[in-house]
Amino acid sequence: MRELFKYFIFGFMLLLASCSKNVALNVPPAANQIVVEGHIEPNSTAYLYLSHNFNFYGTISILSIISNDVIHGAQVTVSDGTTIDTMYETNPSLGFYQNRNLKGIPGKVYYLKVVALGQTLTASTTLLPPIKLDSVWFKPQQNLDSLGYLWAQISDPITQGSNNNYRWFARRLGKDRDTTFVPPDQSVFNDLTFRGQKFQFFYNRGSVPGSKAADDTNSEAGYFVRHDTVVVKFCTLDNLAYNFYSSYYYQVDNSFNPFGSPAPIKGNVTGALGIWCGYGSYLDTVVCK
């Protein structure tokens, strides 16, 4: 019976193999579109990246991005409805634009206008007031002595007529490569399930996409380490910005699902892909003890 069972399994595997079929997917090239990524925060000028989208099966390299995909020479302005300020290309190699005078004030609406490649793009965002965290602390993971996540508690206020949307960033001090605030995966959430309540949550350490740094590939990947000094940037954002980042993370996770279905990312820029977002940012520093 044992030998018979072996033959049965072998025959069944051959049957499955014979049922397979190679399928060639002809993905049409994507229409050429402008991609916008811009933000404004309290007491800071606005900044903006302009580039082209990529084909799904296209070849991507830093050289090709700089030479072909970054958009130079655009006419960009930001306005609070009263004052209009020009955004200048301060880092041409990256398609980075920044204005010089107008700074973010919580409660105001900021309007973006981009004229590039014969197109006019527009967007608006509300810079909401920051909401402070009650406390932030480091907590080692179970069975790990020095590796853990950052925890926080928030007393969520009840905002008239709208839910609160949040985004989390963190940056380690004293690390040469931590030159900016990095969001972890699923860095946005809202208060639909804990509206008006105290709520505790935690986040792992995010990393720059494609990072080959040792602590992004070894056992420390995703963890903060005891004795790290970390600055947390906790932001409020309006519903349009929340929908963009929420749909973005959904698509990132969906890309690993063989049964997932593609869906559009909900940007707020008319005439282009991308986001123009006001971050009501609050900063707090944590020493991982």
What's the CATH number where 74 sits?
2.60.40
| pLDDT for position 112 | 98
| pLDDT for position 75 | 97
**Which of 57, 91, 126 finishes a domain?**
126
Q: Same structural domain for residues 139 and 87? A: no
Gap between the Cα atoms of 275 and 268, Å rounded: 6
pTM for the full predicted model:
0.84
Which residues pair with residue 281 across a beta bridge?
Answer: 235
Residue 45 lies in a domain: yes
Exposure letters 156-187 (e unless 16+ CB within 10 A, then b) = beebeeeebbbbbbbbbeeeeebeebbbbebb
Question: Is residue 10 within a helix (H) or strand (E), and if so which, with residue range?
Answer: helix 2-19
Per this entry, what is the length of the chain? 289
| pLDDT for position 92 | 79
Cβ neighbours, 10 Å, residue 103: 15
Residue 27 lies in a domain: no
| pLDDT for position 150 | 98
Measured CA angle at 91 (ends 86, 96), to 5 deg: 60
Residue 41 lies in a domain: yes
For the chain, residues with pLDDT lower than 70 are 1-30, 54-68, 255-263
- As given in the structure block, the two tokens for residue 244 are 């963009």
| pLDDT for position 124 | 98
In contact, 224 and 217? CB cutoff 8 Å: no
- As given in the structure block, the two tokens for residue 211 are 């990072």
Residue 3 lies in a domain: no
| pLDDT for position 21 | 61
Residue 110 lies in a domain: yes
Residue 276 lies in a domain: no
- As given in the structure block, the two tokens for residue 128 are 């909401």
Of 182, 243, 235, 189, nearest to 209 by C-alpha is 182
Q: Same structural domain for residues 159 and 83? A: no
Gap between the Cα atoms of 52 and 48, Å rounded: 14
Q: Same structural domain for residues 165 and 89? A: no
Q: Same structural domain for residues 86 and 63? A: yes
Identify the three-state secondary structure at position 250. helix
Residue 24 lies in a domain: no
In contact, 143 and 154? CB cutoff 8 Å: no
| pLDDT for position 162 | 82
What's phi and psi for 219, nearest 5 deg?
A: -65, -15
Q: Same structural domain for residues 46 and 74? A: yes
| pLDDT for position 172 | 96
**pLDDT tens profile 112-154:** 999 999 999 999 999 999 999 999 999 999 889 899 999 999 9
| pLDDT for position 210 | 81
Gap between the Cα atoms of 188 and 242, Å rounded: 7
Structural domains counted in the chain: 2
Gap between the Cα atoms of 141 and 221, Å rounded: 13
Contacts with 112 (C-beta within 8 Å, 6 or more apart), sequence order:
36, 38, 46, 48, 76, 77, 78, 121, 122, 123, 124, 125, 269, 276
**Which of 97, 126, 155 finishes a domain?**
126
**Which of 126, 153, 175 finishes a domain?**
126
Domain that holds residue 228: 135-236+281-287
